[in-house]
């Protein structure tokens, strides 16, 4: 038996919420791409540095690893999802018609 997830226009497929009520924890985007890349550089720097410096400084340097998770806003995968969201923000538009939702590129519509 196959079930289809019918989404009404302006409704989120997973939460059933409208477009203005974003579910908490689903938005990992930053305000700009350079700011997001800076967060990634800090996060990866802390993570790699804490692991690479263990032989030199000792296990106390591993206390820097949780700071990387704060910079990533979760994990490196969360950072990657946020990068995709930051890049696509304002470029992709969700359009729903007759229970079918699609993503369209705003730039192509303007041409």
Q: Which of 17-21, 64-68, 88-92 has the lowest mean pLDDT?
A: 17-21
pLDDT, tens digit, for every residue of 98-110? 888 887 776 666 5
CA–CA separation, 79 vs 87, rounded Å?
12
CA dihedral 50, 54, 59, 65 (to 10 degrees): 10
The pLDDT, as a whole number, for residue 85 is 87
The pLDDT, as a whole number, for residue 7 is 47
The phi-psi region of residue 104 (left if phi > 0; otherwise alpha if psi is between -120 and 50; otherwise beta) is beta
The pLDDT, as a whole number, for residue 107 is 65
Q: pTM for the full model?
A: 0.59
pLDDT, tens digit, for every residue of 32-84? 899 999 999 999 999 999 999 999 999 999 999 999 999 998 889 989 998 98
CA–CA separation, 81 vs 26, rounded Å?
10
Domain ranges of the chain: 33-110
């Amino acid at each position: 038996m196959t079930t289809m997830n019918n989404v009404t226009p302006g409704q989120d497929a997973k939460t059933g919420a409208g477009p203005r009520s974003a579910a908490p924890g689903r938005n990992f985007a930053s305000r700009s791409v350079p700011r997001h890349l800076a967060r990634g550089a800090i996060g990866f720097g802390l993570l790699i540095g804490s692991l690479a410096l263990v032989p030199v400084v000792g296990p106390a340097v591993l206390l820097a690893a949780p700071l990387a998770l704060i910079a990533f806003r979760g994990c490196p995968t969360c950072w990657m999802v946020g990068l995709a969201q930051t890049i696509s923000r304002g470029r992709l538009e969700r359009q729903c018609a007759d229970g079918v939702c699609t993503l369209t590129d705003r730039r192509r519509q303007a041409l």
